Structure 1
């Protein structure tokens, strides 16, 4: 009697990505980790800017540089938060949103390192407070860049859902001669 090798059934599946292309307001993004980080860095950008502007030395080049960095972060994060809240990121899913966020968050984190260090070295109370908020923003921008790098490695989507279906084929025994 001849033994036939038994192969275990192989699971075959497919992965479909579902994108809803209409823009709609969805505040649930704010309750996610990236949404919380974006709101936090917006607040820190504003606090640092207010500290420099309320200082007697707001005109100093160190303060001006800090304000430029704070504005870059504020505008980038604010616009991106609106794009996520209104699902524009999902609508234009062909753009590499995660890579853009990774690069810009890394750059802003580095710029905040420089800006916070030079305003702390100045010694003014307002500058010291701005430097503190700048270092906090630097850490959050760096953490956001780290999260984006991990999401890119995992093949995650910036926004949208991935539906995976598994199919198991039916194996029939070989026909007898």
Structure 2
């Protein structure tokens, strides 16, 4: 048994989650890592799409598949970016946003692997450029999926504030007689 002098302070605390449920436009999300990833993904999707469309072989099956993947990435990233900028994700915080994003990014990463490989194998300069942007998008979406998985494991929120309050209770020994 330990004496009162050797006891460590006992911590008691609570965690409060604060959600603002009003829809508002807020550009500060773009300065966060997930926001930067979404904007970069949109740029890479557009660059790959433009490379295929500017090619003489734009109607080739390989180019069409690449464009489908690029446009899918553009729409998914663009819609998610808009939802975060308008704080719709915070308003509907009970929905599993991080899990949906992780799955979408994982699927897009795999689809970009296939699309980039088949357009690079075609041999056209425009297709090779599109493949380069596609491989960059593949790495970006894959890393974003990894980060979303870690955020899910850590119990993080997609959007909102987590306020942790901790109170420390210190037991003092009785006065000496």
TM-score range, shorter-chain basis?
A: over 0.9
User: 2:6 aligned with 1:14, yes or no?
Assistant: no
Structure 1 runs (4+) greater than 6 angstroms displaced: none
Distance 2:53 2:11 in 1: 62
Shift in Å at residue 4 of structure 1?
Answer: 7.6
Query: 2:168 is matched with which residue?
Result: 168
Q: TM-score, normalization: structure 2?
A: 0.92
The answer to whether the Cα contact below 8 Å between 2:10 and 2:170 also exists between their aligned partners in 1 is no
The answer to whether the Cα contact below 8 Å between 2:45 and 2:70 also exists between their aligned partners in 1 is yes
Distance 2:9 2:44 in 1: 55
Query: 1:59 is matched with which residue?
Result: 59
Shift in Å at residue 95 of structure 1?
Answer: 0.6
Distance 2:44 2:169 in 1: 55
Shift in Å at residue 113 of structure 1?
Answer: 0.2
Shift in Å at residue 170 of structure 1?
Answer: 5.7
Query: 1:72 is matched with which residue?
Result: 72
Distance 2:21 2:126 in 1: 46
The answer to whether the Cα contact below 8 Å between 2:105 and 2:144 also exists between their aligned partners in 1 is yes
Post-superposition Cα deviations, 1:68-113, rounded to whole Å, max 9, x if no partner, equal 1001100000000000001110000001111111111011000000
Q: TM-score, normalization: structure 1?
A: 0.92
Query: 1:159 is matched with which residue?
Result: 159
Distance 1:48 1:11 in 2: 54
Coordinate RMSD, CA, aligned: 1.6
Match of 1:5 among 3, 6, 13: 3
> Can you give the 5+ residue segments of structure 2 that lack an aligned partner in the other structure?
none
Query: 1:149 is matched with which residue?
Result: 149
